[in-house]
Amino acid sequence: MEASGLLITNGRIVDIVRRTVEPAAVAVVHGRILDVGDAARLRSMMPVGARTVDVGGRVLTPGFVDGHVHLLGLGLRLLGDRLDLTRTRSLAEVLELIDRHTGTLPPGEWVRGGGWDSNTWPERRRPRASDLDGHADGRPVALTSRCGHSMWVSHSVLRLLGITAETPDPPGGVIGRRPDGSPDGMLYENAIELVHGSRPEMSVGRRKEALLAAIALGQSLGLVGCHNCEGPEALGPLLELQREDRLRFRVTQHIPEEQLDLARGIALGSGLGGQWLRIGSLKVYADGSLGARTAAMLEPFAGETHTGVLERHADAIEGLARRAAEAGLPLAVHAIGDRAVREVLDGIERAGVTVTSTPHRIEHAQHVHPDDLHRMARLGVVASVQPVHLREDASIVQSRLPDRADQAFTFASMTERGIRLCMGSDAPVESFDPLEGLRAAVLRRDRMGRWPDGWHPHEAIGVFEAIDGYTRGAAVAAGVRTGEGRIAPGCRADLVALSHDIVADPEALEACRVDLTVIGGTPMHDPLGLAV
């Protein structure tokens, strides 16, 4: 903590509530904002020894919070423990990286990782276990797709798991098969759990290293916290980091559905914890993903009879909402397709239960039928969205849902109807950089340079609204109604200085970077030496 105080001068402060940018100084004492206003007046209020930081006229925003991330998974990729395939564009490129990565692993170690996307491959087909024959020195290989809802495994993994033509699909999952019924090496949705339960355990120490690596990256990108969608494998080391006073990142930790009974037994409810680590919501899955064609849709995908995979009907959501409420947990339900969203809203409405100040939320809400927008607003359900997905998924939406493309990533329609947006990245599925999320929400351009005027530009939102999604929206979604998400007296001193004035010129988002990140009054990222 910055015990002696910090005075930030020569800044231009973004006020999300009033939608203004005003020149002002910020006085910070004991990790909170003492006051905002004239620098000379604030200087007289500062304790002896307080530091002064001149930000040179830069725009100051509240610190960004990623509303949906897999922090441990991201960190493991950063450390190189997980093979990162997100930039590959062909099967041959993937296989080359697998062989190269295998040479860095100790004997007996699995080849694990993910990020491949066969939609970008010239082969235009799903991978198979046979593609891995002759690669990875015969080691078990398990690689999740970019969307995280399918996994490509080697024949050695299928043998270890005992998956054969006679193995039934698990509830809520699908085993990919050849025409003769034998497994082809693809696992979808809950079938992935067959692999998760068989992999060697990683040490707590290594998991802590991975979390710290992800946190350091987040701080460099202007993030001051996140909502983490992982389970006990992340919560345990996060608790240790907090006890060791090494956690300088505000983590709201969700509880996975399989831990609900434990949470009920020990009253592990929303809001429990402190300033660095607190409990959020119960994480539940209602469907899959667009990339894997497992998002549950009201109408079939283009040229198909298939409508996706619905993992939870309304009755199941209703029951989960009631049981979770007994533990003091609201629901955070993964729902991408419009049918999944409708089933979730039906279940929440029937349950009629709320949890203190923390609202229910739908994770992704990528495709929402127009008839359900008003109901989502009426029920107070937060849309926990990841605008950065648009930069990859717009072309997939156009090909698989061309008649409903205008119902995807409907940020403007949501805000107009009063739905609270909480924005995140879904990293490591996508970039952890909140500025990429802001670009996607405001400019709506894909990575290929298509749609220079924006993909369905009527659904673009303004810079203030987008910043709100990464600040106040994240706070509301976590049940924090005051003290976070603004640069105002009494709020936590979490703020970011940007290199460009993105409010005056939204196009500046394309070049903007973070020049200073302050968390709890302490500069955590300062590449230009502004706070030296």
C-alpha pair distances (Å), 98 with each of 82, 83, 94, 200, 202: 11, 8, 6, 19, 20
Rounded Cα–Cα distance for residues 283 and 473 (Å): 18
Are 21 and 15 in contact by the 8 Å Cβ rule? The answer is yes
The DSSP secondary structure of 451-510, one letter per residue, reads: -TT-SSGGG---HHHHHHHHTHHHHHHTT--SSSSS-STTSB--EEEESS-TTT-GGGGG
CA distance 483 to 503: 23
Strands (E), 387-455: 421-423
Cα-Cα-Cα-Cα torsion 153, 159, 163, 165, nearest 10 degrees, comes to 100
Segment 264-285 shows an average pLDDT of 94
| Domain 202-477 indexed as CATH 3.30.470.20 | no
CA separation for the pair 243, 241 (Å, rounded): 5
**pLDDT of 199 strictly over 70:** no
pLDDT at position 205 is 95
Q: For residues 428 and 398, what is the distance between their CA atoms, to the nearest angstrom?
A: 24
The number of angstroms, rounded, from the C-alpha of 66 to the middle of its chain's C-alpha atoms is 6
Q: Tell me which residue of 433, 481, 467 sits closest to 13, measured CA to CA.
A: 467
Share of the chain above pLDDT 70, in %: 99
Q: How far apart are CA 441 and CA 453, in angstroms?
A: 13
User: In whole angstroms, what is the distance from residue 132 CA to residue 99 CA?
Assistant: 10
Please give the pLDDT value at position 106. 86
Rounded distance between C-alpha atoms, residue 463 and residue 440, angstroms? 11
Give tens-digit pLDDT for 419-466. 999 999 999 999 999 999 999 999 999 877 789 999 999 999 999 999
Q: What is the per-residue pLDDT across 343-391, written as a single tens digit (0 to 9) for each?
A: 999 999 999 998 878 999 999 999 999 999 999 999 999 999 999 999 9
Structure tokens at 20: 């203004």
Nearest partner of 375 among 418, 409, 336, 330, judged by Cα? 418
pLDDT score of 147:
84
Asked if the domains at 6-63+490-525 and 82-196 fall in one CATH topology, the answer is no
The arithmetic mean of pLDDT across residues 142-152, rounded, is 91
Separation CA 521–CA 493 (nearest Å): 5
The C-alpha atoms of residue 417 and residue 441 are separated, in whole angstroms, by: 17
| Distance separating alpha carbons of residues 70 and 73, to the nearest angstrom | 5
The band of 2, judged by pLDDT with boundaries at 50, 70 and 90, is very low
Task: Identify any residues that bridge with 227 across adjacent strands, giving them in sequence order.
Answer: 252
Which run of H or of E encompasses 398?
A: helix 390-400
- Write down the CATH number for the domain with range 82-196: 3.10.310.70
How confident is the prediction for the chain on average, in pLDDT? 94
Q: Is the predicted pLDDT of residue 200 greater than 90, yes or no?
A: no
Pairwise pLDDT comparison (149 vs 225), residue with the higher score: 225
| Amino acid 1: pLDDT | 41
Domain 6-63+490-525 has what CATH class?
mainly beta
What pLDDT digit, counting tens, does each position of 159-182 carry? 999 999 999 999 888 999 999 999
Residue extents of the structural domains in the chain: 6-63+490-525, 82-196, 202-477
The residues near 178 (Cβ < 8 Å, ≥ 6 apart) are: 184
Q: What is the largest CA-CA distance in the chain?
A: 80
Structure tokens at 136: 């990875």
pLDDT tens, residue by residue, 463-476: 999 999 999 999 99
In this structure, the strands spanning 514-519 and 495-498 are antiparallel
What CA–CA distance (Å, rounded) separates 509 from 512? Answer: 5
**Residue 4 clears pLDDT 80, i.e. is over it:** no
Q: Which two tokens stand for residue 212?
A: 């710290």
Least confident of 1-15, 287-301, 327-341: 1-15
pLDDT digits 0-9 by tens, 65-110? 999 999 999 999 999 888 999 889 999 999 999 999 999 988 888 9
User: How many other C-beta atoms can be found within 10 angstroms of the C-beta atom of residue 500?
Assistant: 18
> What pLDDT was estimated at residue 482?
79
25 Cβ contact list (under 8 Å, min separation 6): 7, 8, 9, 10, 11, 36, 37, 38, 39, 42, 43
Give the residue-averaged pLDDT of 201-227: 96
Whether the per-residue pLDDT at 123 is higher than 90: the answer is no
Model pLDDT, residue 198 = 66
